[in-house]
Structure 1
């Protein structure tokens, strides 16, 4: 990708982010996005099929950057340190994550996809011990619970430290896992 293409895509993504702060994705059209980005429609259509295509690329970019950031974390088999690093990353990029994790459109699967990626990394790096046939159910529980806690943390503007939230998420997940495992012994 050349510099001009990178700049064009960056301008479109920044324009989309500004518009998403004002309205739901379903109400954003290519014409107003191009006006916001200072580009013409033909330039937009050289790169994207529509606004949702651009949003998908933006979401994938955020997930990719999050995974890249987390891959550099030295967790040393410490789930809490890994979760805290993820939360620190969210807090450091608060405006973007506030927008993307609290977006009100029902079509967005981004929050769950992001949390699922993080949990998959924890599983790959730290080898969570869960029965294979129940793994999807357990992950659904962990993803939804963790996401709800993080969304509440964001809504409250990060008033609780990332360490406390990491400990909360880990403790609730660990307690649930311990209860599950003890019932199945």
Structure 2
């Protein structure tokens, strides 16, 4: 967790610069080989500024991951409040636009070389929401089958998003959202 500092515009700017620098460096090399010196040079901050905000590079990465998880939690809550399929597809489009807008961070966070714990946390968050299963899959007399269908739909959606990020967003967000919607919610076409 990032150190508690007054949340001024300058603090937000400095943290964002360090986050962006870490993501840029993670594109080139594994987290374990990134030094604080290299991060500070990339972010154009001095070491004391880094240590005023974070204790370690791992803490900085966890800050990035926590911000992403908080956004995903809010998006899931919005998804679960939708009364109809049109609303669900709209929220999925919103999620895809967020991914497009934050592609630099998410391309690294969702890549095979990233922290797999983050990706597992993401899946765990989605799977822990029983309502997601109920909303994504039609009522089934067999709860085990409904759970398997939901896991397939979520894992497939995550895989599609990873592919989309790996191709540098070759398709527009609306197209990806529509594919997730139609594949994840049978009968909602």
Q: TM-score, normalised by structure 2?
A: 0.68
Q: Name which of 46, 50, 58 aligns with 1:44.
A: 50
Which stretches in structure 2 are left out of the alignment for 5+ residues?
none
Is 1:110 equivalent to 2:121 in the alignment?
no
Q: Name which of 32, 37, 57 aligns with 1:31.
A: 37
Structure 1 pair 164–12 and aligned structure 2 pair: CA distance change class (3 A): closer
Q: Name which of 103, 126, 143 aligns with 2:154.
A: 143
Tell me the alpha carbon deviations over residues 124-152 of structure 1, each in whole angstroms, 9 at most, x when there is no partner: 99586577778876654333221111112
Q: Name which of 82, 90, 93 aligns with 1:84.
A: 93
Distance 1:110 1:12 in 2: 19
Distance 1:172 1:69 in 2: 19
Structure 1 pair 138–42 and aligned structure 2 pair: CA distance change class (3 A): farther
Distance 2:133 2:183 in 1: 20
Which stretches in structure 1 are left out of the alignment for 5+ residues?
178-185
Structure 1 pair 69–82 and aligned structure 2 pair: CA distance change class (3 A): closer
Q: Which residue of the partner structure matches residue 97 of structure 1?
A: 106
Distance 1:141 1:126 in 2: 14
Structure 1 pair 95–46 and aligned structure 2 pair: CA distance change class (3 A): closer
Distance 2:83 2:60 in 1: 37
Number of corresponding residues:
175
Q: TM-score, normalised by structure 1?
A: 0.69
Structure 1 pair 84–141 and aligned structure 2 pair: CA distance change class (3 A): same
Q: Which residue of the partner structure matches residue 64 of structure 2?
A: 58
Asked if the contact 1:116/1:139 (under 8 Å) is kept, the reply is no
Structure 1 pair 142–9 and aligned structure 2 pair: CA distance change class (3 A): same
Query: RMSD over aligned Cα, in angstroms?
Result: 3.6
